[in-house]
Structures are given as C-alpha cells and as structure tokens.
C-alpha cells in the first residue's frame, strides 16, 4: 500500500498546516508524486490555499478541500448550521482517489484528533479508515506532554505504535520548551519524536530547505 500520513494535532493552531506544507514541498523536491489534502475545514480556507500553493497548482482547491463550511467552529456543527450532512464514507472515497494516483498522500485534519468532522466521525475514525500513519503536531510549550499523551492514548494500539510526534517551536518559548522532549521519551520511543523550529505562517521554501537538519527531519517523518 502506498503511504498515507494523517497530520493531526493536540489542538487547533498548533502548526498542522505548516508541517503539511513543508512535507509536501520536501516530497515534491525529491521528485515524489504527492497529494496534500485538507478534505474538511470550517471558518475559512486559508489552510487549503496554503496546500494548493505548496503543490504548485497540481490539485485544484476543491480537490484539496471539497468540504468547507463558513462558521469558525467544529466542522460537524458548522455543516449542521448550513443544513448539510457529511459522512465518513464520502470523505474516505474522495481521499482514496488520491491514494491510488499518488506516491504519497498527506491528509491534514481539522482541529484536534477527536474534534467532530461530520456525522458521527472524527479524525481518529478517518485515520483508521485510511490505514494512515498518524503524525501528531503540538506546540512545544508547557502542557504539551499531557496533550500529546492524551492524543496518543485515544488512538488504537496498532496506530499508536506507528504514530510520530512533532513538537513545533512556539512564538514565545518557555522553560518546558527545552525539556518536553526529555520528558516525552519516558513514555514514547525517542526515534518517533521530532522537533522543528518556528517558521511562522509565511516562509520561503528555498531558504528553509537550505537547512540540512530540516531535510533530515522531514525525511525521517515520511520514512516507513
């Protein structure tokens, strides 16, 4: 089976889109045929627009993000406000098209792992349905370890064993920023934990990819 990675997070605004953009651009630079999708979103399509740019228009905006709802709340409830229904089977079917036609598929979730996406399903259900490798993104600050461990505990055992964790440097590091990884390795394999510096929402790929350490980290994230 061609690899599928599902980028989820401990919360909204933790850096899922930044990581998905970096992975998409890195894979394209390596000559890999990659699809980067954010199938469901609410409150705006900025994340999907960023993925569209990262793919250099190889997928249309509606192929990347076929379901978008206006209210800036959990997608399941935002859809209900518009009298729309969204089922797991429809989302899975859309993603499966790109799984077949791509070497690697990146799927970005909306909000945290258990944030409701549609009728009786969330990102965890979608990860299971896609047999995807979870990548959990968290802001590297006080409280991150608790949020990461709760997210890992919510995953089925087989997916938890394959999961990878990415700690994104926050705008304002605190004392925990330098110690979270040391604490987390007591509970989770160190080779599955990664740290990335802060890039902000806007960054130049040509500049950031000059960092060999970044390339090594991204390569390890998408390794089998």
Residues 6 or more apart whose CB falls under 8 angstroms from that of 191 comprise: none
Alpha helices in 55-162 (DSSP H): 61-64, 75-81, 88-101, 123-130, 144-154, 157-162
* C-alpha dihedral, 143 to 141 to 201 to 86, nearest 10°: -10
For the question of residue 38 being annotated catalytic, the response is: yes
Six-digit token string for 118? 């549609």
Largest Cα span, the chain? 49
Judge contact between 67 and 75, C-beta under 8 A.
Answer: yes
Q: Which of 2, 33, 38, 157 is catalytic?
A: 38
Q: What is the DSSP letter of 41?
A: E
Q: Which of 43, 33, 37, 35 is nearest to 13 (CA)?
A: 43
Pairwise CA distance, residues 158 & 155, whole Å:
8
Residues 6 or more apart whose CB falls under 8 angstroms from that of 27 comprise: 34, 103, 104, 222
DSSP SS3 for 221: helix
Query: Annotated active-site positions, please?
Result: 38
């Amino acid at each position: 089976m061609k690899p599928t990675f599902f980028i989820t997070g401990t919360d909204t605004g933790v850096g899922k889109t930044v990581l998905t953009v970096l992975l998409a651009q890195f894979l394209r630079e390596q000559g890999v045929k990659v699809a980067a999708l954010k199938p469901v979103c609410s409150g705006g399509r900025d994340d999907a627009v960023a993925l569209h740019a990262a793919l250099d228009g190889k997928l249309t905006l509606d192929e990347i993000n076929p379901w978008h709802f206006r209210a800036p709340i959990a997608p399941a409830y935002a859809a209900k406000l518009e009298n729309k229904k969204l089922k797991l089977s429809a989302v899975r079917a859309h993603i499966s098209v790109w799984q077949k036609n791509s070497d690697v598929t990146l799927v970005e979730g909306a909000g945290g792992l258990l944030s409701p996406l549609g009728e009786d399903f969330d990102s965890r259900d979608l990860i299971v349905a896609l047999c995807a490798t979870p990548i959990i993104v968290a802001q590297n600050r006080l409280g991150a370890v608790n949020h990461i461990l709760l997210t890992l505990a919510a995953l089925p055992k087989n997916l938890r064993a394959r999961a990878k964790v990415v700690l994104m440097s926050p705008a304002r590091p605190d004392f925990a920023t330098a110690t979270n990884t040391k604490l987390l390795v007591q509970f989770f394999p160190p080779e599955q934990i990664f740290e990335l510096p802060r890039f902000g929402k806007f960054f130049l790929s040509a500049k950031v990819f000059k960092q060999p350490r970044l390339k090594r980290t991204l390569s390890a994230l998408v390794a089998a």
